[in-house]
């Protein structure tokens, strides 16, 4: 007994529809709300009724918000660059060089990501004060590596292990130093993996809230997730939903653009042809 | 002309000893094949010469210079890997240029050397392609080309034909033989488990078994005078027949060895009576597996497509001058013809 074909097809598209709806509706509603102003905000509608950019104008002319976006861009970008550099050199050692305690070290790296942020928060706060990084963007770069490094190191180590060792040996015979091998052989071959992990690290750093709230104290240093949460109205009874939604849409766009750019770069099967294939 | 000399070379991985006291002396310009079953240490020996593995004990000399602690790239060696190991993200030209760039040669020199190698191997038209756009045979040529451009003193091949299909393997084998003639000054060391490759390519063959050098000699020396039962069984195709029991005891040995091509078959008289169990007709030869009463199963080569029925009763006579006798440790006993 099998269900008729049309039922299967309908069921399939129904499920797809539900998944798409639950993924996209919140963002759609944010965009919709951000384009409305004043009283229109409080009338529930699911189709665009008005097209009003005043929320965006007031957000961006605010002065601080532009600076806050730059803060976020700086923190996320620097975190990704440093993480990838450390991860690729670390994974070279972890994947290719035999040394005592390698397995233990890999497990330790993974276990770093095991602790909830809130559990390490106070200790980390002390550390950041001791380094004199409080209210500096470097405090975030430093602390975000707690969660970006474990998975970048792990993913890149796995990818590097999958590369045929003979390619590396050929490079050794060709007279390349370890650093040249990493730069000229591994980085180009691991590029898809680096793009993917780099993108995930960027998104994570871009969205992070708790550390950003704790380690930064002034408005001009804040990153956008915290800044948006702290947007307040003229009185304590007013929540400026329009502005909040406009800001949310603005900070989402860079991520969407990044994903769209890099998805084309994630070319699989780049290593095909290295060895018999 | 670069000579290669190994003196008491040992290699251990942890507590596992892979090579024991290997002594070899290769002359400049020689084509030497290391052959042996898998796990005999032949690839490890090649990697020691290349510098990809450290030598645990002993000395490696190239042209009289001690090479134990010299970096692989400074030894004047090129290597062709079993899997070709081309850089997948680089074009053929870049693949061949990479090593020369590392050696800090001028761009003109690099171009000239690559053009020359590409010409020799007829790969000039693929220079801008990536390895994945090439067939197995073309990749193999590029790998050889990359090795040639470095103008090595010693050329190493690690089972270069094992990834090719049978027809291409024969062609490439002939090309490697031709390459050796062109680069007459370059010493070539070639690792394989295929004794046919060894026999056809080598000036001299080194037979390895369980980390020991069993015998070194020209292909025909190894065929005619194997220094052990292992070599006798490994060199020659199909394998030599090894017969124990009474037949061997009658000659004062533990094992009586005779190659299939050195047994005469007759339908009416001979030394051993037996029944044909299986025949393999290859066109040029026919091999008959005969179940004899006194000597057990014996493989016999018959010239041409001689018709012989399975189940037929036949008589076999070994050619006495081609008999090899071995004691129970596998070492040769005095030849039968001398007895």
Q: Where are the domains of chain A?
A: 60-227+250-263
Is the pLDDT at A4 greater than 70, yes or no?
A: yes
Question: What stretch of H or E contains B213?
Answer: strand B212-217
| pLDDT tens for each residue of B265-277 | 888 888 899 999 9
Listed residue (A211, A98, A86) closest to A154, CA to CA: A86
Whether B117 and B219 map to the same domain: the answer is yes
Mean pLDDT score across all residues of chain B = 89
Q: Which of B209, B232, B255 is the last residue of a domain?
A: B232
Choose the weakest-confidence range: A51-55, A163-167, B187-191.
A51-55
In chain B, the number of structural domains is 2
CB B75 within 8 A of CB A153: no
Task: Mark out the alpha helices in B166-217 (DSSP H runs).
Answer: 166-182, 195-201
Mean pLDDT of all residues in B312-328:
90
Using CA atoms, how far apart are residues A214 and A140, in angstroms rounded to an integer? Answer: 10
Whether B189 and B278 map to the same domain: the answer is no
Say yes or no for a CB contact (<8 Å) between B99 and A169: no
CB B9 within 8 A of CB B48: yes
Is the pLDDT at B338 greater than 60, yes or no?
A: no
Nearest CB to B103: which of A172, A175, A184? Answer: A175
Q: How confident is the model at residue A63 (pLDDT cuts 50, 70, 90)?
A: confident
Whether B228 and B244 map to the same domain: the answer is no
Choose the weakest-confidence range: A191-205, A223-237, A245-259.
A223-237
- Helices A5-34 and A241-263, axial angle in degrees (round to 10): 130
Choose the weakest-confidence range: A29-33, A139-143, B23-27.
A29-33
Q: Which of B184, B215, B232 is the last residue of a domain?
A: B232
Which chain A residues are Cβ-neighbours of B146 within 8 angstroms?
A: 170, 174
For residue B16, give its domain range: 4-232
- In chain B, % helix, strand, coil (3-state, to 5) comes to 30, 30, 35
Whether B213 and B255 map to the same domain: the answer is no
| pLDDT tens for each residue of B72-120 | 988 999 999 988 899 998 999 999 999 999 999 999 999 999 999 998 8
Say yes or no for a CB contact (<8 Å) between A274 and B134: no
B133 inside 8 A of chain A by CB:
yes
Searching chain B, which residue's CA lies closest to the CA of residue A190?
B89
Whether B47 and B178 map to the same domain: the answer is yes
CA distance A181 to chain B (A): 11
Q: Identify the residue whose tokens are 């026999």.
A: B199
Q: How confident is the model at residue A142 (pLDDT cuts 50, 70, 90)?
A: very high
Q: Which CATH architecture has domain A60-227+250-263?
A: Orthogonal Bundle (1.10)
Which chain A residues are Cβ-neighbours of B134 within 8 angstroms?
A: 273
CA distance B33 to chain A (A): 21
Mean pLDDT of all residues in B282-307:
86
Mean pLDDT of all residues in B207-223:
92
Question: If contacts are CB pairs under 8 Å, which of residues 50-79 in chain B contact chain A?
Answer: 50, 52, 71-74, 77-79
CB neighbours (10 Å) of residue B316?
A: 22
What's the ipTM? 0.83
Q: Identify the residue whose tokens are 């044909």.
A: B276
- pLDDT for position A265: 63
Whether B203 and B168 map to the same domain: the answer is yes
Searching chain B, which residue's CA lies closest to the CA of residue A276?
B83
Name A250's Cβ contacts closer than 8 Å, sequence gap at least 6.
Answer: A56, A59, A60, A69
Whether B318 and B188 map to the same domain: the answer is no
Whether B221 and B242 map to the same domain: the answer is no
Whether B220 and B251 map to the same domain: the answer is no
Name B59's Cβ contacts closer than 8 Å, sequence gap at least 6.
Answer: B5, B6, B7, B8, B9, B66, B68
Assign residue B309 the CATH number of its domain: 2.40.50.140
Whether B113 and B176 map to the same domain: the answer is yes
Whether B222 and B319 map to the same domain: the answer is no
Whether B170 and B97 map to the same domain: the answer is yes
């Amino acid at each position: 007994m099998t269900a008729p074909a049309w039922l299967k097809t309908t069921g399939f598209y129904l499920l797809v529809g539900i998944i798409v709806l639950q993924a996209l509706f919140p963002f759609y509603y944010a965009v919709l709300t951000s384009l409305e102003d004043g009283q229109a905000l409080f009338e529930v509608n699911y189709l665009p009724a008005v097209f009003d950019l005043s929320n965006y104008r007031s957000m961006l002319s605010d002065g601080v918000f532009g600076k806050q976006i730059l803060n976020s861009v700086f923190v996320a970008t620097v975190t990704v660059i440093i993480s990838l550099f450390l991860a690729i050199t670390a994974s070279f050692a972890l994947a290719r060089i035999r040394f005592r305690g390698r397995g233990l070290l890999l497990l330790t790296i993974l276990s770093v990501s095991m602790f909830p942020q809130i559990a390490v928060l106070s200790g980390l706060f002390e550390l950041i004060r001791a380094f004199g990084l409080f209210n500096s963007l470097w405090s975030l770069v430093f602390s975000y590596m707690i969660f970006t490094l474990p998975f970048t190191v792990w993913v890149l180590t796995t990818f590097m292990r999958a590369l045929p060792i003979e390619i590396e040996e050929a490079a050794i015979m060709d007279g390349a130093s370890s650093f040249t091998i990493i730069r000229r052989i591994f980085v180009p071959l691991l590029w898809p993996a680096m793009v993917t992990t780099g993108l995930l690290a960027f998104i994570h750093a871009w969205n992070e809230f708790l550390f950003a709230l704790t380690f930064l104290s002034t408005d001009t240093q804040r990153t956008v997730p915290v800044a948006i949460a702290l947007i307040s109205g003229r009185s304590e009874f007013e929540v400026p939903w329009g502005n909040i939604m406009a800001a949310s849409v603005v900070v989402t766009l860079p991520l969407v653009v990044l994903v769209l750019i890099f998805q084309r770069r994630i070319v699989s099967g780049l290593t095909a042809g290295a060895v018999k294939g | 002309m670069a000579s290669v000399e190994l003196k008491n070379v040992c290699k251990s991985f942890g507590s596992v000893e892979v090579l024991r006291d290997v002594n070899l002396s290769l002359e400049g310009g020689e084509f030497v094949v290391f052959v042996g079953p898998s796990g005999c240490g032949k690839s490890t020996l090649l990697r020691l010469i290349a510098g990809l593995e450290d030598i645990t004990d002993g000395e490696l000399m190239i042209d009289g210079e001690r090479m134990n602690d010299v970096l692989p790239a400074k030894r004047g060696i090129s290597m062709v890997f079993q899997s070709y190991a081309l850089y997948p993200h680089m074009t053929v030209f870049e693949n061949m240029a990479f090593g020369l760039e590392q050696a800090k040669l001028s761009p003109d020199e690099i171009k000239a050397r690559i053009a020359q190698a590409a010409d020799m191997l007829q790969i000039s038209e693929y220079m801008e392609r990536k390895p994945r756009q090439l067939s197995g045979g073309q990749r193999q040529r590029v790998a050889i080309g990359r090795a040639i451009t470095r103008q090595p003193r010693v050329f190493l091949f690690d089972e270069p034909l094992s990834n090719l299909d049978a027809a291409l393997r024969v062609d490439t084998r002939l090309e490697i033989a031709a390459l050796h003639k062109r680069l007459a000054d370059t010493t070539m060391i070639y690792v394989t488990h295929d004794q046919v490759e060894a026999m056809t390519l080598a000036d001299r063959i080194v037979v390895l078994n369980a980390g020991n050098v069993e015998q070194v000699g020209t292909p025909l020396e190894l065929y005619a005078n194997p220094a052990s039962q292992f070599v006798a069984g490994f060199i020659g195709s199909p394998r030599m027949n090894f017969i124990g029991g009474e037949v061997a005891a009658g000659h004062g040995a533990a094992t009586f060895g005779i190659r299939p091509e050195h047994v005469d078959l007759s339908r009416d008289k001979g030394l051993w009576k037996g029944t044909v169990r299986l025949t393999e007709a290859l066109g040029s030869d026919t091999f008959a597996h005969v179940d004899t009463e006194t000597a057990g199963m014996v493989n016999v080569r018959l010239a041409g497509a001689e018709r012989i029925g399975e189940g037929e009763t036949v008589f076999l006579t070994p050619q006495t001058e081609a008999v090899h006798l071995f004691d129970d440790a596998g070492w040769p006993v005095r030849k039968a013809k001398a007895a």
